[in-house]
Amino acid sequence: MSKISVIKEFFEFVKERKKYFLAPIIIILLLLSLLVIFAQSSAVAPFIYTLF
């Protein structure tokens, strides 16, 4: 399965089952994971870690 089909299937699940509360949770988790990945490979890491 490609990544796009997994994302598409997730949104179809949310839409069909009326689980709209899952979308913000997933979005926040994705943003936090991107922040962690960015912080590991950047000179800005000490400044990002002060946010937490």
Q: Output the pLDDT for position 24.
A: 86
Q: Output the pLDDT for position 52.
A: 67
Closest C-alpha among 49, 27, 29, 31 to residue 39: 49
Summarised one tens digit per residue, pLDDT across range 1-46 is 677 788 788 888 888 888 888 888 888 988 888 877 777 776 766 7
Is the Cβ–Cβ distance between 48 and 35 less than 8 Å?
A: yes
Q: Output the pLDDT for position 42.
A: 67
Q: Output the pLDDT for position 40.
A: 73
Angstrom CA distances, 41 to 32, 35, 44, stand at 15, 10, 9
9 Cβ neighbours under 8 A, 6+ residues apart: none
42 φ, ψ (degrees, to nearest 5): -140, 155
Q: Output the pLDDT for position 38.
A: 73
- The model's pTM is 0.56
